[in-house]
A and B are shown apart, each in its own frame.
Chain A
Amino acid sequence: MGFISFYPLVSAILTSFTDQRLGVLAATKFIGIDNYYAAFKDMNFLKSIANTMIFAFCAVLLEFLLGFMLALVLHRHFLQRIRGVVRSLLFTPMFVTPVAVGLMFRYMLNVEYGIIPYLLRTLLGVQVDFFSPSLALFSIVLVDVWQWTPFMLLLLSAGLESLPQDCYEAAKVDGAGAFSTFWYITLPLLRPIMLVAILIRTLDAFRVYEYIYTITRGGPGIATESIMYHIYRVGFRFFRMGEASAKAVLFAVTVLIIVIIMYRTLRRYEEWV
């Protein structure tokens, strides 16, 4: 396992210091950090970073709020009988092939023959082009929310179920209301798992690629180009391997920093508990 991941990793870092291009006859030269220097000045790359950040923030926030709400609703006692079935149905989107999800929504959101713009037009009388320059990124967020809210629901439901019951009984004895029980017991106890759920989803959202590929190809212009899609274009459309590697390494370092922060934070929580 070490070999299968580490060899490519090291090799990627080495490639990032060269001007390697496929299909060019000149020998690959070592050019130091030029690729990194160029990456920071590349407007397209910076734009793709901004897009990815906006996308990840909106998607994860919406998924968290919706997932948390659903988890709380499903946790109610009177829903015990239907809980299992409802949950397994709600979980299904996260197992569906992302390419298929992208195509499904590209069809359903299409301004000419999609069902959703059609409904908006006939019921509300508004004309919405989901893939116009201003809305395209948000539409991709919607697709992500459809597929990945179930993941939030899964983790948060599991979290709610693992909470110790005696705290709630004690709160009841002390005469705490529903809101203060929620605010002072549920939220603090759930905080570690909320953190994990948000971080896992954020890291995942940074890698958004399939929806962009199937729905907009980064367009209109580069309005929806994500980091992954940008690297794909540089590396496998223009075959500038050195440049693509450098950008990918920068991307990986960012992810690594987030992972380290996550590890530290979690360890701190473990010490408290």
Chain B
Amino acid sequence: MGIKPILSYLCIAIALCTTLFPYLWIFIASFRPFEALVRPFEAFVPTFENWRAVLEKPGFVRGILNSIFVGINVALISIVVGSPAAYSFSRFKTGGNLGRFGILALQMIPPAVLVIPLFLMAIRLGLLHSLYGVIIAHLTFILPVIVWFLIGFFDQIPRELEEQAMVDGCTRLQAFIRVVLPLTAPGLAASAIFAFVLSWNEFFYALILTGGPAKTLSVVLGEFWTFRGIELGQMSAAIIITILPVLVLSFLTQRHMVRGLARGAIK
């Protein structure tokens, strides 16, 4: 083996270590008893105390359920609303190039601009500290991303299939529902999961628009280390609980997600 392959392997090894080490370290930390948290390299007896405390912490399980509720709603709405929109962008070139680019631009509006009106609107509608406000806020940036994703999946379906169906007597809508949608099912599923992950990870809108029992998981997690106090062990367990679902989901659908993300950049 020459020097070049060795350097390559070394490079990859370093990258892998840096990437994976934080997960491992936090995972270990979640089993550390209180004294061992501040002494990184001393042996300790693993304990499940942190995990028990986190799950019994008032509001934590509620946060998980809230995040699941918001995520599922966001995913469903963005697929139901987004797939006809994406279909129209893909087949009829609605809005032309500018339209396509406009979708991406929408997603780039800084949340700081939208959050103030959304907040005032939520107060007026009585949606502040309820989950519906967050669902709306999340849709402002997730819906464009999902439409962008779906355009790519629809572009791959050959037009002839729907034309065939329409010759056989389907309307355009029937052709869309019975022929195109089933063919894009894997893409739709991946997009829904991606929407769920984006919503689950979102923090800024959730912090401002939810409170009390309506807090989503990311907001609850953010409260583990404040000026008022630290619970490192519990925090580590909470981090693992928060990131495990998104890691698993994204790992399962990574192929589709990577393709969708990359396609945005390469035409």
Contacts and interface: CB of A to CB of B under 8 A. Distances in A.
Whether A and B are associated in the same complex: the answer reads yes
Interface of A: 1, 4-5, 7-9, 11-12, 15, 69-70, 73-74, 76, 78-79, 82, 86, 88-93, 95-100, 103-108, 112-115, 118, 146, 150-151, 154-155, 158-159, 162, 193, 196-197, 200, 203, 206-207, 209-210, 213-214, 217, 227-228, 231-232, 235-236, 241, 244-245, 247-249, 251-252, 255-256, 259, 263, 270
Interface string B217-230: 01001101101000
B48 interface: no
Provide the main secondary structure of the chain B interface. Answer: helix
A100 B265 contact: no
Provide the main secondary structure of the chain A interface. Answer: helix
A188 B5 CA distance: 26
Contact of A155 (B20, B147, B224, B265): B265
B232 A107 contact: yes
Interface in B74-102: 81, 85, 101
Contacts of A12: 113-114, 116-117
Contact of B262 (A96, A155, A228): A155
Contacts of B45: none
Given A97-B242, A100-B243, A248-B113, A4 B139 contact: yes
B203 interface: yes
B105 interface: yes
Nearest to B226: A217
B26 A104 contact: yes
B161 interface: no
Contacts of B118: 8
A69 B10 CA distance: 13
A68 to B, nearest CB: 12
Contacts of B267: 270
B158 interface: no
Given A99-B221, A113-B38, A210-B204, 16 more contacts: A1-B103, A1-B106, A5-B114, A74-B12, A86-B16, A92-B251, A96-B247, A151-B261, A158-B258, A196-B264, A207-B110, A209-B203, A227-B112, A228-B111, A228-B204, A232-B112
A103 to B, nearest CB: 6
A251 B12 contact: no
Contacts of A106: 225
Contacts of A193: 265-266
B140 A8 contact: yes
A71 B119 CA distance: 42
Contacts of A69: 11
Nearest to B11: A73
A155 B26 CA distance: 29
A70 B19 CA distance: 13
Contacts of A100: 218, 221, 239, 242-243
Contact of B81 (A1, A7, A245): A1
13 contacts: A1-B103, A8-B118, A89-B20, A92-B19, A100-B221, A103-B239, A104-B239, A115-B40, A146-B19, A213-B207, A217-B227, A228-B110, A236-B119
B40 A118 contact: yes
Nearest to B103: A1
Nearest to A117: B40
A162 B267 CA distance: 10
Given A4-B140, A90-B19, A97-B246, A107 B29 contact: yes
Contact of A251 (B19, B101, B112, B221): B112
Nearest to B41: A118
Nearest to B19: A90
B143 A158 contact: no
A96 B266 contact: no
Given A73-B8, A207-B111, A252-B109, A99 B222 contact: yes
A59 to B, nearest CB: 16
9 closest A-B pairs (Cβ-Cβ)? A158-B262, A113-B38, A95-B250, A11-B117, A8-B117, A196-B265, A248-B113, A248-B112, A231-B112
B116 A95 contact: no
Contacts of B81: 1
A266 B235 CA distance: 44
Nearest to B235: A103
A139 to B, nearest CB: 14
Contacts of A146: 18-19, 22
Nearest to A236: B208
A9 B112 CA distance: 11
B112 A97 contact: no
B12 A86 contact: yes
B65 to A, nearest CB: 16
Nearest to A227: B112
A7 B120 CA distance: 12
